[in-house]
Amino acid sequence: MNSEDDRDREVLGRWQAERRERLAAILLSGRPAEFAAPGELDPRLAAWADGLADGKARNLILTGPVGTGKTWAVWHAAEHAVRAGYEGRVIVGTAARLRRIVAPATADPAEFARWMDAGLLVIDDLAAVRLSEWDMDHLLELVDARWADRRPVAVTSNVTALKPLLGERIASRLQHGALFVELDGPDRRRQAS
């Protein structure tokens, strides 16, 4: 190998590292302060994030009781994926935000399209708000399009059984090839009080 090849590899390596840091900064600029606390990421979630960075995208279903750290974990898993080399656009939004995006009075078709086209879409707190038939129709459209294009969706929910909550079609598409992780433990917010 010659020194020019070595220099090229070194320049490329620096460029990739800087790009990853920029993408991480973009992601983290939208992360609420409460979820920035340090901690150890569950190894199953780290492996899922590494797979995402390696081009092995799959859905993630993260469940457990209130306060067990699901939202913290999904933010840190997304950050892990970006720092490991995932370059797709990551959108983390709540089920309540989805309702506002599709509600007739507050509909935001451009935002819905962003959710549809994101590389990784995280829907946090699915089941925290009651979804109407209108909401479910739009959620089906969103999940179906992403499933058909093999773009991953990560979902956090206090409900483990998605089928009774979302119906057979949405649950089937979300669960297809998904990694299921159930977090357990006490409500961390109560312990901090």
What residue spans define the domains of the chain?
3-192
The answer to whether residue 121 scores a pLDDT higher than 90 is yes
Positive or negative, the Cα torsion across 160, 42, 144, 136?
positive
Determine the Cα–Cα distance for residues 160 and 64; give it in Å rounded to an integer. 7
pLDDT of residue 13: 81
3-class DSSP state for residue 177? coil
The three-point CA angle 152-157-159 to 5° equals 125
The answer to whether residue 138 scores a pLDDT higher than 70 is yes
The answer to whether residue 193 scores a pLDDT higher than 70 is no
The answer to whether residue 141 scores a pLDDT higher than 60 is yes
Give the position of tokens 């609420």. Answer: 32
- HSE toward the beta carbon, residue 10, CA cutoff 13 A: 6
Summarize pLDDT for 45-88 with one digit per residue, the tens. 999 999 999 999 999 999 999 989 999 999 999 999 999 999 99
Determine the Cα–Cα distance for residues 76 and 36; give it in Å rounded to an integer. 8
Positive or negative, the Cα torsion across 93, 48, 148, 64?
negative
Q: In 73-97, which positions are buried (b, 16+ CB within 10 angstroms) versus exposed (e)?
A: bbbbbbbbbbbeebebebbbbbbeb
**Topology annotation, domain 3-192:** Rossmann fold (3.40.50)
Query: CB neighbours of 79 closer than 8 A, spacing ≥ 6?
Result: 24, 27, 28, 31
Say if pTM beats, i.e. exceeds, 0.85.
yes
